[in-house]
Amino acid sequence: MSGLAYSLVIPSYELPDELDRTLASIAGQTRLPAAVIVVDSSRDQRVREVAEGWRTRLPVRYERAEIASAAAQRNQGAKLVDAAASPIIGFIDDDIGLYPESCEKVWQVFAVDRQGTIGGVALRIDEVFRPEPKGWIWWYYRLQAGFADRTYGGRLFGPAINCLPCYTEGDSDLIAADWLNSGCVFYRTDLFQRQLFPKFEGYSFMEDVHLSARIAKTHRLYFHKTGRCQHRDGAAMRPREAVRHLARMRIRNQRLVARDVLGLRGPVFESKLLLHRLFATVAILRSRPAAWRDEILGTWT
């Protein structure tokens, strides 16, 4: 088990201060990575300066992005990882902070999986809280999914609706899932290199779903309940035009996940997607209508 090495790939875009804190948290791990690859699409040199400044303390490799896209940058970095030398590969955003034991907890999951049946494990993000669905929300999920589930945590159903865990599911540290998010996620290197993230542009909404749901067809996926990280969300403040663009991107990529991974198309899929857009609009209006009006416009234009 002690020889099971892992490498990390970090796609970055103009968040040098956040990246510096991310690298500091990596340097504080109880089990250090064999390599840290930063793939940068920034317009200036600040991210490069930060990455190279850590070379005396971490095995950091800096690469300029060939394509400015979170998905493409992850794929580019992964190609530099030797699966034989580093059987586990992790992807971490440049505004994520790790606790000292975060990577070791995931490493332990893979280390005891003698049969190699586990394909991926994602850390729990502290700032992301999803309550258990109740009332009309639960019944809406039931309608779209076609099956009953207490929380629908970790499930992928309907027109590619992907629900995060509530972390109240079961007593184990591991929550079985149909998909994984990409804030801080680990895969078997050889398995990932056969699949890769899809060629989604820019911020790449749902690229994590597209990849992980394909891997879930042959291997088990888990969200880790006690393996945690922090998300500082350096890209949280976006102009109105960007919010609309991202909402449109979400719908477009949701179609691709439904078509490519779930095999859905035609009138049944279109009716399920239309229903989900209506549901999303109502949910947005009920929560914070003024702040999210641009997301609603993006969803319908």
pLDDT in tens, 16-43: 999 999 999 999 999 999 999 999 999 9
pLDDT of residue 59 exceeding 90, the answer is yes
Task: Say how far residue 69 (Cα) sits from the centre of its chain.
Answer: 14
pLDDT recorded at residue 295: 39
Q: At what angle do helices 207-215 and 240-260 cross, to 10 degrees?
A: 20
| Banded model confidence at residue 299, pLDDT cuts 50, 70, 90 | very low
**pLDDT of 237 above 60:** no
Q: In angstroms, rounded to a whole number, what is the distance separating the alpha carbons of residues 188 and 163?
A: 23
Q: What DSSP element (H or E) covers 11?
A: strand 6-12
Distances (CA, A) of 21 to 57, 123, 252: 14, 18, 33
pLDDT in tens, 167-207: 998 889 999 999 999 999 999 999 999 999 998 876 667 89
For residue 96, what is the enclosing H or E element? strand 96-98
Q: Which two tokens stand for residue 273?
A: 């997607």
The pLDDT confidence band at residue 282, using thresholds 50, 70 and 90, is confident
User: Which letter, b or e, does each residue of 123-134 get, where b requires 16 or more Cβ atoms within 10 Å of its Cβ?
Assistant: bbbeeeeeeebe
The arithmetic mean of pLDDT across residues 91-108, rounded, is 97
pLDDT average, residue stretch 251-268? 88
Burial of 41 (0-12, 13-18, 19+ CB in 10 A): buried
Given this model, what pLDDT does residue 1 score? Answer: 45
> Residue 14 burial (CB < 10 Å; 0-12/13-18/19+)?
middle
Mean pLDDT for the chain overall? 89
Structure tokens at 19: 């990246």
**Are residues 112 and 29 in contact, defined by beta-carbon separation less than 8 angstroms?**
no
Q: Using only C-alpha atoms, what is the Rg of the chain? A: 19
pLDDT at 279 over 90: no
Residue range 47-65: mean pLDDT, rounded: 98
pLDDT at 179: 97
Distance CA 161, CA 152 (A): 10
Rounded to the nearest angstrom, the gap between the alpha carbon of residue 206 and the centroid of all alpha carbons in its chain is 8
